[in-house]
Amino acid sequence: MKRIAVFCGSSIGFSAVYANAAKQLGHYFAQHNIGLVYGGGKIGMMGILADTLLENNGEVIGVIPNLLRHEEVAHTKITKMIVTKKMSKRKVTISRLVDGYIALAGGFGTLDELFEALTLGQLGIENKPVGILNTNGFFNHTLKQLDVMVTEGYLKETNRNMLQVSNSVEELIEKMANYQAPLVSKVVNTVASK
Ligand code: AMP
């Protein structure tokens, strides 16, 4: 994989384990020549990830919508910043640049981006791997919710299993590199089957 989009918090979180995970991922990307595409911020997990890559001569491309481009938020030292007019255009721009997606700990923005990537895969619009780095079991409840969706007939098990999960950076990237997209129907308005 040449470039990967990473979705992660604009906040830093209360525990240092999450910032450390962002640093680990940044080091891995730099060492393996994987370019980072991300929200373009210098704050929170985003800033730590981008700075780690930059300190290790990695490529960092930010894609930021005009409305978030405040001086105190946007990173000014990255390899390239692409400014989009709208939030929706930003997502399309990111998807054109990358071979896969990873989510780290974050809030609404992170989950929104993660689930949009999964939805594109579910509809067969994209077949790129989507992974979460499950540091400290941060996403355990989210994963449990996905299981409930399967049990209650709202999500196909094959689509549930599109999401690659690991708490190790190496294992996650390996799983993503070996990812085979399911043969999915673009018709989603049917009863889920296993
Ligand atoms: P959140 O998880 O709610 O903190 O939102 C973080 C995610 O949403 C990141 O992956 C970004 O792509 C995007 N995002 C949210 N706030 C900002 C911001 N101030 N600057 C740039 N991107 C942001």
Confidence of residue 192 (pLDDT cuts 50, 70, 90): very low
CATH 3.40.50.450 fits 3-177, yes or no: yes
pLDDT tier at 185, thresholds 50, 70, 90: low
Average pLDDT over residues 106-112: 97
How much is the pTM? 0.94
Residue 67's pLDDT is: 87
Which residue, judged by its Cα, is nearest atom 11 of ligand 1?
Answer: 39
DSSP state of 167: S
The continuous run of DSSP H or E covering 166 comes out as strand 163-166
Residue in this structure with the two tokens 């007019």, named with its chain if needed: 85
State the sign of the Cα–Cα–Cα–Cα dihedral 64, 53, 178, 169. Answer: negative
Q: Which atom of ligand 1 is nearest to the CA of 6?
A: 10
Pocket test for ligand 1, best of 94, 101, 110, 111 (most atoms within 8 A of CB): 110
Residue 194: per-residue pLDDT: 47
What digits encode the pLDDT tens for the residues 41-98? 999 999 999 999 999 999 999 999 998 887 668 999 999 999 999 988 999 999 999 9
pLDDT confidence of residue 82: 96
**What is the pLDDT at residue 191?**
45
- How far does residue 157's CA lie from ligand 1's centre (Å)? 29
State yes or no: pLDDT of 120 exceeds 80: yes
* C-alpha of residue 13 to centroid of ligand 1, in Å: 13
Q: Would the CB of 13 count as within 6 Å of ligand 1?
A: no
Query: Picking from 129-133, 158-162, 180-184, which range would have the lowest pLDDT averaged per residue?
Result: 180-184
150 Cα–ligand 1 center, Å: 29
* 189: CB partners within 8 A, 6+ apart: none
User: Cα torsion for 109, 110, 112, 116, to the nearest 10°?
Assistant: 140
Give the pLDDT score at 18. 98
Which of 10, 68, 110 best tests ligand 1's pocket when mutated (most atoms within 8 Å of CB)? 10
Tell me the chain's radius of gyration from C-alpha atoms: 16
Would you list the domain boundaries of the chain? 3-177
| Rounded Cα–Cα distance for residues 52 and 22 (Å) | 8
Atom index in ligand 1 nearest the CA of residue 113 equals 10
What are 139-159's pLDDT values in tens digits? 999 999 999 999 999 999 999
Pick the residue whose CA is nearest to atom 22 on ligand 1. 39
**Residue with CA nearest ligand 1 atom 23:** 39
Q: How confident is the model at residue 183 (pLDDT cuts 50, 70, 90)?
A: confident
Cα separation of 116 and 98, whole Å?
Answer: 14
Q: Per-residue pLDDT for 187 more than 90?
A: no
